[in-house]
A and B are shown apart, each in its own frame.
Chain A
């Protein structure tokens, strides 16, 4: 992701998709279209799990991101089958919305898991790098705050931060200048900072020997 080619590639798929009639043959096209977004979502989920909830990835829970994401692709596919986006921008708007939902859902499940695990008697020896507390409900608050951003700011934020596009690529999708994208991102950051000023400090990165 990240250059003008992305936009062109997506537009090509969308055009093809528009020429496909019926439900079934569209499937592979949609799948390809989704691949980049799903990869990025996978990466975001993995980094959330590993950075904020490292303990859950170890015994006894051994949570794996692939397991947790099993249903995601299917759900996004279903959503994009029922609503056919006409433009690249519409496509990303849909994808972004679903990604935020999925992240939120994952964060909720992780919080529940953490709580459940905390209830259980802790294991005799905590691995060396589990210092720092596990409970970080911050992720969900951040996602909620993003949901509440004004549309322009949210769209810019979604494309750059959630889809991982470069600012010029996002500008391409939105049909505005890169400067405008940067300005919207800054404004989004200011709004988020106002709303999230009381967040806990980020936990230290998992330590290594």
Chain B
């Protein structure tokens, strides 16, 4: 056998058996190096393959990578409960566990079997781990214990829950002072370790863990070579680490040179990555990176991020010196210099001087430099002695002047961030005692820039998507105050004078921009006129666009604004003026997207243009909106609003995990940004994490008490949790802030309906319609409520009005809602034709509508098809594109079609399915959509069960279980709990398998039984104690069967089905109907045995949910 085929054979063995390459080569040690080389190559290719063909089910024990992971399941270690897998890597697996004795969370790092080749290696590992375990420091991840489980070494460590520094950086530069402070802490910590004789050797952002409070903790002390899977592949003693974070002496493999200086280098690399968002060296391949680490000079951080202060850059580059002797001589020295920088004192690290830079240049260009060597030598001789000192002092003043000139230049170009950086640099150079003239110049520049930042902050705060009127009024006040504080003038001063002052300002462009935004916020009349007069003086605007925008005939007039927007050239007036026009257009109810697209095309990097365009597209095209938001984010990586916006775009696309990531980043940027918490809550609640969502809404409210949506979403969440009174409170608060917010109004009204005041709401709604007859949603809601309450004649009147007023609307979303509302009862003649045309109009808008909205449009179309007798078309839509929306409605329409085409059996089945699958109680009819459900249910029942009246009156008996289930739905609606429970009992007794056909059956039955037992419902008030106990028993039996079924299926189901099953379990926790056998205070009144039985069920449900949560 040739050596090549033997190598292949060994490789196959390794892959198949999962044993270590060393063991596989026991009989043929000469093959080991080649086997290891090919294994490494194989892993690289495998990574590419995994990228291109991700495993289908999300588990990673699928396919050939099995040999890298431990066989599934959690290990059991005496004294600990292993709870979940925190991460997997080349070195093994990290688990989260609980130490039973001390009841504290720990992390267990379990290494792969075969990590050490021989018994002596094992002893060495234990020694090194022990040394690391002796380190005890607030910023070091404490090792509690080391051990061995079936040949696999493991470390038991402090659990640190806030992620790694690498996650935190993730390619985005961090503020310079934060970076300096963090690295100073790390350097101090490293100094302690160095004093104990321990070198870390693999410091990198992914080894820095963060606590929930944001404190850094260093992990993997001195053990890196054991954890790095490549370590045992080289077997040379000089391990290969992560190339981008290793020091040149490591890359060269000179083990003897590895010492504290190696860690200083790594600290510099961490600082570099925090300042620039990327490591100092990053090549095409690992070997390329190694080459760069050894031979190349890092790109100065300030070239990648102009905000990096010069001194910090100097410190960073001194750490990254190739020669360890030229770095800081200890981690402590590095820490001290960082603290000097933070205190604004001169640092000790020095910039590479002319000569040093020359030397480096020579190193890079050896041939070219020989010719220049003579000239350099001469220059070197001239600069010597006392001349040097004098020159240096003059140099410094000169440099400050140059910095300030730079500030001015940047200000002219409106590059505010760059100006800010230059100013910080000047400040550092100036120290406390610069020449007075320079100091004055500096103070002026500082004041100007502070004003720019203040104005910008006002604008940022305004775009928070709350009630626009509130935020405009706030911004108006703040602008006024800022301009007054800056000494630029007040409304009382003549515009001429103010304009002159602004004209003389070094930051005139920023002031002009602010004036345009202020103009949008200012109330009509004197103040707006004053602003326009100032702007006109400064920005000639020869075509008079500004005057046309503010003309009273245009300001609030949609068609005039639209005309203006279509005429204005994207490259004509200033961006701020164009965006002001977009703002107006939006406020008047128009679509600013086409205008903003043109603006964005002319100013592709403008933060505001991208942000506003994203906002305009968010609902119609979230993917494109996300792109513009990202561009805005790139322009301003510090703007919390940009992170939130990217998150919004992702949330619209149902990418909830990613959205949450961005929302958290927004909060990290600005912990006082209220909207950040609210949208984070919304994403969490979409994921079913209601408690966390509520917590975030509650955080948002005190931060910004004017933000309507915090109250609204909190109300929604509380309602879901069954806390109706508090929910109603919050809806009312939202409504108080923004009386025109229809969703808050609906929330408040629906809360009143839940409290049984439906007729009262109906009367109020009627008044609202009369007061604002132009509001289509008002009409529709009123019509739907009328129908739900059985005021069919009033509904017909509304239908007539709706078609008369909005029948010709070209807006597809109005067309959809109008047609749907008009077709909820059979309809004929002109009205039917008109409603059908509206539905067609909505359905034609497929390409301009987000898919998830378009499903609703399809539903309207299907409903219209049904009303027109086009039954096949209706079924196609109801079973196809619209099947996922409008709750039971598609199935109900489908059922009616089936009945009309003679398929009575299927019709009954569908009706029963809809009956069981929905909560039909009047209490749940507190959402507008649900009124539609009830209307269609009523129609379907009357059609499919011609003897319905007899059945409900008891004069006729049901023939089938499906009829019983349909009847139970009616009983639910009429609040006849006892009768509903009896019907469910009949079905479940005669045909237990019905529970499989209707997954909600046992849940509904249990609710009905529990309500009956609690004496709730019109027919359940007079039961005696025994009967109540009997119904409680039924409820518990059904519930425990439900929990068991869900729990069993959970373990086998795919992710989608799992989510669904988890929802089924979750609702048990919140369903008000089950309170009688769930809530502690209710249970206390029951016999002890019943209490235990109940508690057992809830425990089982929670355990299943827990298991599912950890499996994720």
Instruction: State the A residues within 8 Å of B (CB).
Output: 1-2, 40, 43-44, 47-48, 51-52, 57-59, 62, 64, 123-129, 131, 138-139, 142, 160-167, 182-183, 185-187, 189-190, 192-194, 196-197, 199-202, 207-209
Identify the closest chain B residue to A182 (Cβ): B16
B853 at the binding interface (Cβ < 8 Å)? no
Q: How far is the CA of A197 from the CA of B285 in the complex (A)?
A: 12
Please report the number of residue pairs spanning A and B whose Cβ atoms sit closer than 8 angstroms.
150
| Given A2-B57, A62-B627, A208-B662, A127:B634 Cβ within 8 A | yes
Identify the closest chain B residue to A141 (Cβ): B48
Docked-complex contact A207 and B170, CB < 8 angstroms: yes
Identify which of A162, A187, A194 contacts B53 (C-beta below 8 A): A162
Stretch of B36-44, B328-336, B914-922, B1064-1072 that contacts chain A: B36-44
Contacts of B630 in A (CB 8 A): 58, 127-129
Give the Cβ gap from B637 to chain A, nearest Cβ, in Å.
6
Identify the closest chain A residue to B633 (Cβ): A128
B560 at the binding interface (Cβ < 8 Å)? no
| Given A58-B630, A59-B628, A193-B38, A129:B44 Cβ within 8 A | no
Docked-complex contact A190 and B51, CB < 8 angstroms: no
Give the Cβ gap from A101 to chain B, nearest Cβ, in Å.
15
| Shortest 4 CB-CB contacts between residues of A and residues of B | A164-B56, A207-B171, A124-B605, A58-B627
Docked-complex contact A199 and B662, CB < 8 angstroms: no
Docked-complex contact A200 and B284, CB < 8 angstroms: yes
Contacts of B662 in A (CB 8 A): 208-209
| Given A44-B53, A64-B623, A209-B172, A167:B47 Cβ within 8 A | no
Contacts of B56 in A (CB 8 A): 1-2, 40, 163-166
Known: A128-B630, A164-B53, A209-B171; 10 extra A-B contacts, CB below 8 A, are A47-B51, A57-B627, A123-B605, A138-B48, A139-B52, A165-B56, A190-B15, A192-B45, A208-B171, A209-B661
Q: How far is the CA of A43 from the CA of B658 in the complex (A)?
A: 18
Instruction: Enumerate B7-48 residues with CB–CB distance to A below 8 Å.
Output: 8, 11-12, 15-16, 38, 41-42, 44-48
Identify the closest chain B residue to A52 (Cβ): B51
Docked-complex contact A209 and B631, CB < 8 angstroms: no
B62 at the binding interface (Cβ < 8 Å)? yes
| Given A186-B15, A201-B285, A209:B170 Cβ within 8 A | yes
Docked-complex contact B631 and A125, CB < 8 angstroms: yes
B64 at the binding interface (Cβ < 8 Å)? yes
Docked-complex contact A202 and B47, CB < 8 angstroms: yes
B278 at the binding interface (Cβ < 8 Å)? yes
Contacts of A185 in B (CB 8 A): 63-64
Identify which of A127, A131, A166, A190 contacts B42 (C-beta below 8 A): A190
Q: How far is the CA of A187 from the CA of B64 in the complex (A)?
A: 10
Identify the closest chain B residue to A158 (Cβ): B53
Identify the closest chain B residue to A66 (Cβ): B851
Contacts of A1 in B (CB 8 A): 56
Give the Cβ gap from A33 to chain B, nearest Cβ, in Å.
18
Q: How far is the CA of A174 from the CA of B1030 in the complex (A)?
A: 56
Identify the closest chain A residue to B42 (Cβ): A193
Docked-complex contact A131 and B171, CB < 8 angstroms: yes
Q: How far is the CA of A162 from the CA of B286 in the complex (A)?
A: 29
Give the Cβ gap from A40 to chain B, nearest Cβ, in Å.
7
Docked-complex contact A128 and B55, CB < 8 angstroms: no
Identify which of B16, B171, B623 contacts A183 (C-beta below 8 A): B16
Docked-complex contact A62 and B624, CB < 8 angstroms: yes
Q: How far is the CA of A209 from the CA of B650 in the complex (A)?
A: 14
Contacts of B52 in A (CB 8 A): 44, 47-48, 52, 139, 142
Identify which of A44, A62, A128 contacts B637 (C-beta below 8 A): A128
Q: How far is the CA of A142 from the CA of B628 in the complex (A)?
A: 33
B116 at the binding interface (Cβ < 8 Å)? no
Q: How far is the CA of A193 from the CA of B47 in the complex (A)?
A: 11
Q: How far is the CA of A23 from the CA of B894 in the complex (A)?
A: 29
Identify which of A52, A59, A62, A197 contacts B45 (C-beta below 8 A): A197
Contacts of B62 in A (CB 8 A): 160, 166-167
Docked-complex contact B44 and A199, CB < 8 angstroms: yes
Q: How far is the CA of A167 from the CA of B11 in the complex (A)?
A: 20
B431 at the binding interface (Cβ < 8 Å)? no
Q: How far is the CA of A48 from the CA of B48 in the complex (A)?
A: 11
Q: How far is the CA of A196 from the CA of B47 in the complex (A)?
A: 12
| Given A47-B54, A128-B637, A208:B658 Cβ within 8 A | yes
Q: How far is the CA of A131 from the CA of B278 in the complex (A)?
A: 9
Annotate B636-657 by CB proximity to A: 1 below 8 A, 0 otherwise.
0100000100000000000000
Q: How far is the CA of A40 from the CA of B52 in the complex (A)?
A: 12
Contacts of A124 in B (CB 8 A): 604-605
Q: How far is the CA of A179 from the CA of B665 in the complex (A)?
A: 46
Contacts of A160 in B (CB 8 A): 62-63
Q: How far is the CA of A73 from the CA of B863 in the complex (A)?
A: 29
What are 24 A-B interface contacts by the 8 Å CB criterion? A2-B56, A59-B624, A59-B631, A125-B605, A125-B631, A127-B631, A127-B634, A128-B171, A129-B171, A131-B277, A142-B49, A142-B52, A160-B62, A161-B53, A166-B56, A167-B63, A190-B11, A190-B12, A193-B41, A193-B42, A193-B46, A202-B44, A209-B643, A209-B665
Identify which of A64, A139, A165, A209 contacts B633 (C-beta below 8 A): A209
Docked-complex contact A128 and B42, CB < 8 angstroms: no
Q: How far is the CA of A2 from the CA of B66 in the complex (A)?
A: 18
B470 at the binding interface (Cβ < 8 Å)? no
Q: How far is the CA of A166 from the CA of B47 in the complex (A)?
A: 19
Give the Cβ gap from A202 to chain B, nearest Cβ, in Å.
5
Docked-complex contact B64 and A186, CB < 8 angstroms: yes
Give the Cβ gap from B1070 to chain A, nearest Cβ, in Å.
33
Instruction: Enumerate B355-392 residues with CB–CB distance to A below 8 Å.
Output: none
Identify the closest chain B residue to A133 (Cβ): B284
Instruction: Enumerate B611-627 residues with CB–CB distance to A below 8 Å.
Output: 623-624, 626-627
Give the Cβ gap from A177 to chain B, nearest Cβ, in Å.
13
Docked-complex contact A189 and B172, CB < 8 angstroms: no
Contacts of B16 in A (CB 8 A): 182-183, 186
Annotate B283-299 by CB proximity to A: 1 below 8 A, 0 otherwise.
01110000000000000
| Given A62-B623, A64-B623, A190-B12, A196:B64 Cβ within 8 A | no
Contacts of B38 in A (CB 8 A): 190, 193-194
Identify the closest chain B residue to A166 (Cβ): B62
Docked-complex contact B658 and A166, CB < 8 angstroms: no
Identify which of A128, A187, A190, A200 contacts B172 (C-beta below 8 A): A128
Instruction: Enumerate B145-174 residues with CB–CB distance to A below 8 Å.
Output: 170-172
Contacts of B258 in A (CB 8 A): none
Identify the closest chain A residue to B166 (Cβ): A207
B635 at the binding interface (Cβ < 8 Å)? yes
Give the Cβ gap from A58 to chain B, nearest Cβ, in Å.
4
| Given A57-B623, A59-B628, A127-B630, A208:B635 Cβ within 8 A | no
Give the Cβ gap from B794 to chain A, nearest Cβ, in Å.
44
Identify which of B42, B44, B63, B665 contacts A161 (C-beta below 8 A): B63
Contacts of B631 in A (CB 8 A): 58-59, 123, 125, 127
Contacts of A128 in B (CB 8 A): 171-172, 277, 630, 633-634, 637
Docked-complex contact A207 and B63, CB < 8 angstroms: no
Contacts of B8 in A (CB 8 A): 190
Contacts of B627 in A (CB 8 A): 57-59, 62, 127
Identify the closest chain B residue to A160 (Cβ): B63
Q: How far is the CA of A149 from the CA of B658 in the complex (A)?
A: 37
Contacts of B661 in A (CB 8 A): 208-209
Contacts of B658 in A (CB 8 A): 208
Identify the closest chain A residue to B289 (Cβ): A201
Identify the closest chain A residue to B1054 (Cβ): A2
Instruction: Enumerate B653-681 residues with CB–CB distance to A below 8 Å.
Output: 658, 661-662, 665
Give the Cβ gap from B40 to chain A, nearest Cβ, in Å.
10
Q: How far is the CA of A197 from the CA of B41 in the complex (A)?
A: 6
Give the Cβ gap from B847 to chain A, nearest Cβ, in Å.
11
Identify the closest chain B residue to A47 (Cβ): B54
